Chain A
Amino acid sequence: KAGVTQTPRYLIKTRGQQVTLSCSPISGHRSVSWYQQTPGQGLQFLFEYFSETQRNKGNFPGRFSGRQFSNSRSEMNVSTLELGDSALYLCASRAGTDYGYTFGSGTRLTVV
């Protein structure tokens, strides 16, 4: 059974640019969540999608957005990148609320 796949693994972007990250959850998992991980702030919740609908949202500015497709694949977009957006972005999926998350290996974004 394939795990959660995130692409790309690494990205270097310039301030002001925008970026799109992709996540393919485990087959059959309809819940997909995104987290930002930085050394100083730990794992910060970005948003959760379930059946193409945003179910929960964290406390991030509107520059951070996401969506989920009918096949449960998800993307997140960050516009007008800032240096502080440099982080590991983790996607996680789960079969339901009675289960834990399976995380992908993450996309490491560096903004220069």
Chain B
Amino acid sequence: GQQVMQIPQYQHVQEGEDFTTYCNSSTTLSNIQWYKQRPGGHPVFLIQLVKSGEVKKQKRLTFQFGEAKKNSSLHITATQTTDVGTYFCAGEKTSYDKVIFGPGTSLSVIP
């Protein structure tokens, strides 16, 4: 069945360093979504990408959707302690299919 993988599983960075997490799907996706879950909280929607090669920015966060629509990345510039949490990617094969989540990348930021 459809699988979504993410690397790395964990990342520890010094505050101010950059961070990137990568997401790969075993199948072509109609869209990719990214979520952030703070410790003890629930996932919060960040963004959805739908077009091949799409790049979107939200302040210090940059999201990319691969040309083949099978991979994506999230890059955070100059991390802050408020960026701590687990970042999940999620995708669906078609618009009405189930949304499958990757295992997440847990980010720790050392002040």
Q: Are B100 and A45 in contact (CB under 8 A)?
A: yes
Q: Are A56 and B98 in contact (CB under 8 A)?
A: yes
Given the known interface contacts A43-B88, A55-B96, the answer about A100 and B101 at a Cβ–Cβ threshold of 8 Å is no
How many chain B residues touch the partner (CB < 8 A)? 26
Asked if B1 lies at the interface with its beta carbon under 8 angstroms from chain A, I say yes
Q: Are A99 and B43 in contact (CB under 8 A)?
A: no
Chain A interface mostly: strand
Say which residue of B42, B48, B90, B104 sits within 8 Å of A99 (CB atoms): B48
Q: Which residues of B contact A45 (CB under 8 A)?
A: 98-101
Asked if B103 lies at the interface with its beta carbon under 8 angstroms from chain A, I say yes
Q: Which residues of B contact A33 (CB under 8 A)?
A: 98-99
Say which residue of B35, B42, B88 sits within 8 Å of A104 (CB atoms): B42
Say which residue of A48, A102, A106 sits within 8 Å of B98 (CB atoms): A48
Q: Are A98 and B48 in contact (CB under 8 A)?
A: yes
Q: Which residues of B contact A106 (CB under 8 A)?
A: 42
Interface string of A28-71 (1 = CB under 8 A from B): 00000101000000110100100000011111000000000000
Say which residue of B41, B47, B95, B102 sits within 8 Å of A97 (CB atoms): B95
Q: Which residues of A contact B96 (CB under 8 A)?
A: 55-56, 97
Closest to A4 in B: B42
Q: Are B1 and A59 in contact (CB under 8 A)?
A: yes
Give, as a whole number of angstroms, the nearest-CB distance from A46 to chain B: 9
Q: Which residues of B contact A59 (CB under 8 A)?
A: 1
21 examples of A-B residue contacts, CB within 8 angstroms: A33-B98, A35-B101, A42-B88, A43-B43, A43-B101, A48-B98, A48-B99, A56-B97, A56-B98, A90-B43, A92-B43, A97-B95, A98-B48, A100-B33, A100-B35, A100-B45, A101-B43, A101-B45, A102-B45, A103-B44, A105-B41
**Chain A interface (Cβ < 8 Å from any Cβ of B):** 33, 35, 42-43, 45, 48, 55-59, 90, 92, 97-106
Given A42-B88, A56-B96, 9 extra CB contacts under 8 A: A33-B99, A35-B101, A56-B97, A97-B96, A99-B48, A100-B47, A102-B45, A103-B43, A103-B44
